[in-house]
Amino acid sequence: MTIQFLKGDATAPVANENSIIVHICNDLGKWGKGFVLAISKRWKLPEQTYKESFKGNIIPVLGDVQFVSVSDSITVANIIGQHGVRSPRNKTAPAPIRYDAVFDGLNQVMEYATKHNASVHMPRIGCGLAGGTWEKIEPIINDTLISKGIEVRVYDF
């Protein structure tokens, strides 16, 4: 099994089975740029769940995942996989991506996908505002999902 690359919108998964839409969030509670805008345009609950979780005494930390059901067959997985944020104009600042947190999060996605007989759908996570590289993300996907027999579809818009 290998990653399937598709042209299209990751918020509209191509699947006959249950689907998990995976994306990366920061650990500050800031939602408002990148792929999250496409999610919020389609569903309000993932954003609400994420923002609400930062108002309590126990806030999400790197490696956590919020599984938010948005329909009978689609769940959005908010992976806390980046530490802070950086301006897209400031290329000299360290990239906020945390590959170990992405690994931990995708392991939780694998468990959820196995339990719910679901395929996984995503853009090239961690490679936009988070500042990561696909050369580092793809092996993590292979180790956590593909090696466990989970179908993964990556969408290029």
List, edge to edge, every strand of the sheet that includes 118-122.
4-7, 152-156, 118-122, 18-26, 74-82, 65-69
For the cut 90, the answer to whether the pLDDT of residue 157 exceeds it is no
* Structural domain count, the chain: 1
For the cut 90, the answer to whether the pLDDT of residue 87 exceeds it is no
- Considering only CA atoms, which of 90, 83, 87 is closest in space to residue 126? 83
pTM for this model (two decimals)? 0.96
Q: Which residues pair with 65 in a beta bridge?
A: 79
Q: Looking up tokens 């993590």, which residue turns up?
A: 140
Residue type (1 letter), 110: M
Range of the domain at 114: 4-156
Task: Give the CATH number of the domain where residue 25 resides.
Answer: 3.40.220.10
pLDDT digits (tens, 9 = 90+) for 93-121: 899 999 999 999 999 999 999 999 999 99
Cβ 131 vs Cβ 95: under 8 Å: yes
